[in-house]
Structure 1
Amino acid sequence: MDYIDLTLYKETDLEKWINKSYRENGIFYADDIDIERIAAIWGIEVRTYLGPSFARWEDGEFGFIFLNDYLSEEHRREVFFHELCHPLQHSGNQEHMPQMFMELQEAQASLFQLYASMPVFMLEQFTSIQHRDYLLKTISEEFVLPLRVVERRMDQINRRIQQERYDRRLIHHSRSMAHSTYSASTMVILEQLNRQLQTKKQMTANG
């Protein structure tokens, strides 16, 4: 497993907002992550009961997250960080919205879950671990999260790092070629490649 160079990881605007909120409220390490403490940052109240987990909110008025009382701590956190996205990022009641829009909100909540449950700035201390299985297990224990969530997050981080490496190599190659004389057709191809690169970077930022 390659060394994880987090300096190559590019945060999305949503990540930057979450990370800034954490730091401003004294949340710097995995040990600082506490459901009630994080919910309080945004005025969200967490309650447990015997039914299915869900979020209920009114824009600018109130926000509640109801968690099933029988969830293990790992699954409790997994569900909490997913549900937290809804009152912070979404408007409307999913019970009365089109299926496609509801699916979009759920996809956004899945991304939010990864960013908020495992902030990238907290992962630097684990980058020296070279064995993948041990790395995933260690992070799972430190952040008290299911292994599958940790695996999704680390795969996401690695994809973005690899994309950044590729982008930098392409830029370097393009600059080194700039000293050559290009034909008109070559310039057209290079311009097309540049547009494709920018489109791909935008797609990567959203996933």
Structure 2
Amino acid sequence: MKYITTATEDAVKDLYYKMGLVDPDHSVDDIAQRLGIQLFYLRKPSFASHGCIYLDPTIPEKRRKEVFSHELGHILYHSGIQLFMTESYRRMQEWQADNFALHFAVPTFMLKEIELLDWNQAINSVVTTFNVTPNFAAKRLEHYEKQIQG
């Protein structure tokens, strides 16, 4: 069965290629610099505003890429201040940012290069290769399997 990519997967691949990145071994600091996004570390809940990403420096390294990817999704796809939005619209934006984060932190075009044997091995491979948490890796693999099944 042929894997058909989504618009989000295609956009993420294009973004990685425009940054000159074809492998997952890059820090969020490097990615932010390549995208021209200012990245600040503050001891507050992470957020994005006016083209900048603010990350809590106490976030464990394996979560940092996940949170950065979520906030990047807001920068690329959303505008406005969530405080003034309806709850349903805010939830939709959070869902979109979460979905983007799955694809950006573990891009499909890179994921396809990994041999995924059994479930536990696949999770470990994604954790190690993409520097994400096991929970995030499992979510991404579930999403990937659903895409494969069509």
- TM-score by length of structure 2 reads 0.93
Per-residue deviation, 1:25: 2.0
Which SS does the other structure have where 1:65 is aligned? strand
Distance 2:129 2:105 in 1: 11
2:77 is matched with which residue?
89
Per-residue deviation, 1:76: 1.1
Per-residue deviation, 1:134: 1.3
Structure 2: give runs of 5+ residues left out of the alignment. none
Matches within 5 A, 1:90-169: 90-127=78-115, 129-163=116-150
Aligned residues: 150
Distance 1:8 1:86 in 2: 31
Per-residue deviation, 1:10: 1.8
Distance 1:70 1:142 in 2: 22
Q: 2:17 aligns with which of 19, 23, 35?
A: 23
Distance 2:35 2:88 in 1: 28
Larger radius of gyration: 1
Q: Is the contact between residue 18 and residue 115 of structure 1 (CA under 8 Å) also seen in structure 2? A: yes
Q: 1:70 aligns with which of 43, 58, 66?
A: 58
Which SS does the other structure have where 2:39 is aligned? strand
* Dislocated runs of 4+, deviation >3 Å: none
Task: Please tell me the residue identity of whatever aligns with 1:54.
Answer: F
Query: Cα deviation per residue 1:21-43 (whole Å; 9 max; x = unaligned)?
Result: 21122211111x32122223432
Q: RMSD value over aligned CA atoms?
A: 1.4
Task: Please tell me the residue identity of whatever aligns with 1:20.
Answer: D
Structure 1: give runs of 5+ residues left out of the alignment. 1-6, 58-62, 164-207
Q: 2:49 aligns with which of 51, 56, 62?
A: 56
Distance 2:49 2:11 in 1: 22
Q: Is the contact between residue 19 and residue 35 of structure 2 (CA under 8 Å) also seen in structure 1? A: no
Q: Is the contact between residue 12 and residue 104 of structure 2 (CA under 8 Å) also seen in structure 1? A: yes
Per-residue deviation, 1:84: 0.7
Distance 2:57 2:31 in 1: 19
Distance 2:101 2:45 in 1: 18
Which SS does the other structure have where 1:126 is aligned? coil
Q: Is the contact between residue 9 and residue 157 of structure 1 (CA under 8 Å) also seen in structure 2? A: no
Query: Cα deviation per residue 1:118-146 (whole Å; 9 max; x = unaligned)?
Result: 1111123322x312101111210111101
Distance 2:74 2:112 in 1: 29
- TM-score by length of structure 1 reads 0.68
What is the percent sequence identity of the aligned residues?
31
